[in-house]
Structure 1
């Protein structure tokens, strides 16, 4: 079977949910996947076009009075097979994190101690906000768990995000403490 990029497989996976339109796909990405997998709005429609051209999905157009026609995408058997084959393959590589705070800290001796501490505090605050967002999402998924077969798997990915975020918050605290003790 032909190999596609990860965005294609992500959208094939999204089409297994109730999200069938480009707009609904974008909403799911913004609310869920975007926390661990970035897909820009500009990638969605070209990928949907490719998926239809490759016969991995079909598109159904329905008219809406006073609105543009609505396009809904549905996986074909070929699309389901492609998704399942990709899901069965082992992960090719461990992802490399691109983290601006770590990059700036790596070269931190070239800036003021105050500025370094300011950046670490700000980063920690943003991580705490992210953790709260994850906790809110977890509550929503858990509350509506009976509505979704995918909820268990969504909670697994959310748990990963919460644990990584919690570890990063702890790292910020320990790094600031060490930095203040003179570890610069």
Structure 2
């Protein structure tokens, strides 16, 4: 079987849910995957077109009175098999995080003491906001988990995000404490 890029596999996976149009795929990405996997809006439609060309999905137009026609996508057997094969493959490398805060902190010797503290405090505040978002998502999943066979797996990925975010908050607190105590000496 042919190998595809991860965006293709992500969209194949999304097509296993109730999302079957470009718009609903974009909403799904914004509400779930975007927290750990970025797919731009500009990638969705070309990828859907590619998936259809590869025979991994079929497209059908549907119409609703008073609304423009919309394309709805459905995985083919080949598409399901391709997704399953990819899911069974081992991970080849650990993900590498790109973090602007860490990049700025690495060269922090060239910024003011106040700016370093501000960067860390703002980052920590953003992390708290992210954690609250994750808790809201978790509550929504828990309320509807009996309706969706995917909810257990969504909760696993959400738990990862919560734990990583919590660890980053702890790191901010520890780093701020160390930085302030060093600068006071």
Query: TM-score per shorter chain, which class?
Result: over 0.9
SS in 2 for 1:181: helix
- Give structure 1 stretches of 5+ with no counterpart: none
| Partner in structure 2 of residue 154 of structure 1 | 154
Q: Distance in 1 between matches of 2:94 and 2:4?
A: 19
Cα RMSD for the two superposed structures: 1.0
CA deviations on 1:56-100 (whole Å, 9 max, x unpaired) are 000011122232211110000000010000000001110100000
Cα deviation for residue 183 of structure 1 reads 6.1
| Partner in structure 2 of residue 129 of structure 1 | 129
SS in 1 for 2:182: coil
Mapping of 1:94-133 within 5 angstroms?
A: 94-133=94-133
- Give structure 2 stretches of 5+ with no counterpart: none
Mapping of 1:38-57 within 5 angstroms?
A: 38-57=38-57
CA deviations on 1:12-47 (whole Å, 9 max, x unpaired) are 000000000111100000000000000000000000
SS in 2 for 1:66: coil
**Normalising to structure 1: TM-score of the pair?**
0.98
| Partner in structure 2 of residue 144 of structure 1 | 144
SS in 1 for 2:71: strand
Aligned length: 184
| Partner in structure 1 of residue 178 of structure 2 | 178
Q: Which runs of 4+ in 1 moved over 3 A?
A: none
SS in 2 for 1:134: helix
Q: Distance in 2 between matches of 1:142 and 1:114?
A: 42
